[in-house]
Structures are given as C-alpha cells and as structure tokens.
Amino acid sequence: MKARLPKNYGGNGIGNMQQLARQAQKMQEEMEAKTAELEEREYSATAGGGAVKATVSGAMEVKSLDIDPEVVDPEDVEMLSDIILGAVNEALRNAAKDKEESLTAISGGLNIPGMF
C-alpha cells in the first residue's frame, strides 16, 4: 500500500520553504510594528481607593504619578510607598498583558525564539 501525500506536496520542498520564510518575515514585521505601536500607548492604574494614580508607557516607563494630597501623612510614609508601588505595578501589568495579547494574536500563539 502506498502512502498518500497531501495535495501540492510533491517535489516542491524549496518552494514551500521559501513561502514559509516569507510568512515568517511578514509575521516578524507585523510584530515589530505592533511592538512600536504598543510602546507609544499609555496605561494607568489606581490604588488606595484612587488616592494614587500611576501612568506608564508600553515601553515600561513611568510617565506620571498623581498623589491625592489628603493621603500624604508624614507619620505614615510607608503606607504611601505601598500604595504607589501597587499603582505602578498594576499599570505595568496592564501594559505587559496588552503587549502579550496583541503579539499572540499576530503569531497565532507560536513561540518562536527571537521573534519577540
């Protein structure tokens, strides 16, 4: 019994490899464009019931930090530090999650080393 090969499979391995390489190049270009776009976006998060608002860029840089003057207590600087850290970390998580979801949508879930 002979094995059957899929249609358009026979003898054209180089053509298939070239097509695969073009597709990979296109995917990489799309991912680079999306990464550049995401780095320009801003993500915000609040903590302490809105007492602190942190805004970060998609490039994972803190852009602004707004602190409600009512929560500034010289006797409890540690609490303010904790609230600030919470807001900044949440904003960074939002940026990272958006980047991961956007790039996964382009790659179809493929994890190709060096692509992103």
pLDDT in tens, 47-93: 999 999 999 999 999 999 999 998 888 898 899 999 999 999 999 99
In degrees to the nearest 10, what's the CA dihedral of 28, 32, 34, 38? 150
- Comparing 4-18, 19-33, 49-63, the range with the smallest average pLDDT is 4-18
Nearest CA among 58, 53, 29 for reference residue 41:
58
- pLDDT-based confidence at residue 116 (cuts at 50, 70, 90): very low
Is 2's pLDDT higher than 90? Answer: no
Would you say residue 14 lies in a domain?
Answer: no
Is 10's pLDDT higher than 60? Answer: no
What total of structural domains would you count in the chain? Answer: 1
Residue range 3-12: average pLDDT? 58
Would you say residue 83 lies in a domain?
Answer: yes
Would you say residue 65 lies in a domain?
Answer: yes
**β-pairing verdict for 52-57 and 42-47:** antiparallel
Is 45's pLDDT higher than 70? Answer: yes
Would you say residue 40 lies in a domain?
Answer: no
Q: What is the CATH number of the domain that holds 56?
A: 3.30.1310.10
Would you say residue 17 lies in a domain?
Answer: no
Task: Please answer whether residues 99 and 58 qualify as being in contact, where contact means their C-beta atoms are separated by less than 8 angstroms.
Answer: yes
Q: Output the pTM of the full model.
A: 0.70
What are the angstrom distances between the C-alpha of 7 and each of 4, 10, 21, 87, 94? 9, 8, 20, 55, 45
Residue range 3-9: average pLDDT? 59
Would you say residue 115 lies in a domain?
Answer: no
